[in-house]
Amino acid sequence: MEDLKKEFYERLSAVKTVAELDALKAEYIGKKGKITQQLKRLKDLPPEERRRVGSVLNALKKEIEAVIRERREDLLDRIKPSDPTLPGRLRRKGVGALHPIRIVANEILKVLENMGFEIGEGPEVETDENNFTLLNIPQWHPARDMQQSLYLNNGMLLRTHTSPFQIRYMKSHRPPLKAATFGKVFRADDFDATHSPVFHQIEGFAVDRDISIGSLKWTLEQIVKALFGEDARVKFVPSYFPFTEPSMEVSVWYRGEWLEMLGCGMIHPNVLKNVGIDPDEWSGYAFGIGVERFAMVKYGIEDIRHFYENDVRFLRQFRYENWV
């Protein structure tokens, strides 16, 4: 496929007319084009190989479509007479677009806003109390080791999750509450295909009378269906988080398999007590979404490092999805 891509760009550099460009397009992505024929052969591959190769082929097809659009506009500009009285046209070449992480985050936040969640922000530099202690993670708790925190010289730390937003919001507001936030989090992780020391989360929570796991399940189902289609399903698997009880991990049935996507649960009574909310009167749920994980599944991206390397060949694939 790399040879096919190289061949296409070599041929493209020699194109001088719109007719030649149309012929080149038909040769590669037309009904009998080279890439189209490769896509038709996917059915003969094993399932795992089919998914990997299909993702690469579709990305290449999308890239070629975008490049041909740009080249077509360039060629048309050359043959059309200039008329200074005409209004200006939007030129797609060189116009920026939203990053895929921002695209996915906006889709999730839009769903939450439509359900009445207030979208807020919290600081990236946090106190140990907000990041751990008030979230039911005392000094001796082994969960602190799981977070691999990055402390500063003044005793503060770079937040390891967006959950401190819950604490700050519940300290300054009285229930009933529905709020969410999006932002960066930091952990002392290695930088490899599935881990990054800096990544993005969306934290959402609600506190009201008689909130149940059913409320949480319905909320997450709306998010999953908005991103992956009405046929997507969710599965709740028991897990452990110190700030929720019971705690669960959510898997999504997507493209024929269950994929672990996020953590959630009912807000622990101790967390409510720590911010002055009576757990005998109020209950709540909370969830944390790893935005990179959602984006990787949604777009078939296998290496998290692509999000941060600023490779134009990767980023240009999303140019026509969301204009800025």
DSSP per-residue codes, 140-183: T-THHHHH--EE-TTS-EE-SSSTHHHHHHHHH--SSEEEEEEE
Q: Is 239 helix (H, G, I), strand (E, B) or coil?
A: strand
Q: Flag whether pLDDT at 235 surpasses 50.
A: yes
Q: Phi, psi (5° rounding) for residue 124?
A: -80, -25
Q: Would residue 321 count as lying in a domain?
A: no
Provide the domain limits for residue 218: 100-307
Residue 324's pLDDT is: 40
Q: Would residue 298 count as lying in a domain?
A: yes
pLDDT cut 70: percent of the chain above it? 92
Which is more confidently placed, 258 or 208? 208
Band (pLDDT 50/70/90 cuts) for residue 41 is: confident
CA atoms within 13 A on the CB side of 26: 6
Structurally, the chain folds into a number of domains equal to 2
Residue 206's pLDDT is: 97
Average pLDDT value for residue range 62-76:
88
Note whether 134 and 157 are same-domain residues.
yes
Measured distance CA(248)–CA(30) in Å, rounded: 47
Residue 323's pLDDT is: 44
Q: Would residue 152 count as lying in a domain?
A: yes
Q: Flag whether pLDDT at 321 surpasses 60.
A: no
- Among 94, 126, 150, where does a domain finish? 94
- Among 49, 72, 94, where does a domain finish? 94
Assess contact for 252 and 259: CB atoms under 8 A.
Answer: yes
**Burial bucket for residue 51 (CB in 10 Å: 0-12, 13-18, 19+):** middle
Measured distance CA(173)–CA(170) in Å, rounded: 5
Q: Would residue 235 count as lying in a domain?
A: yes
Note whether 108 and 217 are same-domain residues.
yes
How many other C-beta atoms can be found within 10 angstroms of the C-beta atom of residue 31? 7
Which is more confidently placed, 236 or 141? 236
Strand pairing category for 198-208 and 233-241: unpaired
Measured distance CA(322)–CA(324) in Å, rounded: 7
Top mean-pLDDT range of 40-54, 220-234, 261-275: 261-275
Encoded tokens for 28: 């590669």
Q: Angle between the 2-13 and 18-29 helix axes, to the nearest 10 degrees?
A: 170
Predicted TM-score of the model (pTM): 0.68
Note whether 35 and 179 are same-domain residues.
no
Note whether 90 and 107 are same-domain residues.
no
**Burial bucket for residue 164 (CB in 10 Å: 0-12, 13-18, 19+):** buried
Residue 223's pLDDT is: 93
**Burial bucket for residue 70 (CB in 10 Å: 0-12, 13-18, 19+):** middle
Note whether 76 and 124 are same-domain residues.
no
Q: Would residue 215 count as lying in a domain?
A: yes
Q: Flag whether pLDDT at 245 surpasses 90.
A: yes
Q: Would residue 267 count as lying in a domain?
A: yes
Q: Flag whether pLDDT at 320 surpasses 90.
A: no
Note whether 84 and 20 are same-domain residues.
yes
Q: Flag whether pLDDT at 22 surpasses 60.
A: yes
Note whether 202 and 132 are same-domain residues.
yes
Residue 81's pLDDT is: 63
Residue 1's pLDDT is: 77
Q: Would residue 44 count as lying in a domain?
A: yes
pLDDT tens sequence across 284-306: 999 999 999 999 888 888 888 99
Mean pLDDT of all residues belonging to the chain = 87
Q: Would residue 313 count as lying in a domain?
A: no
Note whether 113 and 34 are same-domain residues.
no
Residue of 233, 230, 236 lying closest to 250 (CA atoms): 236
The residue with tokens 């149940």 is 212
Residue 229's pLDDT is: 85
> Which H/E stretch holds residue 118?
strand 118-120
Note whether 124 and 75 are same-domain residues.
no
- Among 94, 129, 153, where does a domain finish? 94
Q: Flag whether pLDDT at 276 surpasses 80.
A: yes
Top mean-pLDDT range of 95-109, 122-136, 183-197: 122-136
Note whether 71 and 169 are same-domain residues.
no
10-to-21, 118, 137, 199, 225 alpha-carbon distances in Å: 13, 51, 58, 37, 41
Average pLDDT value for residue range 272-285:
96
Note whether 220 and 268 are same-domain residues.
yes
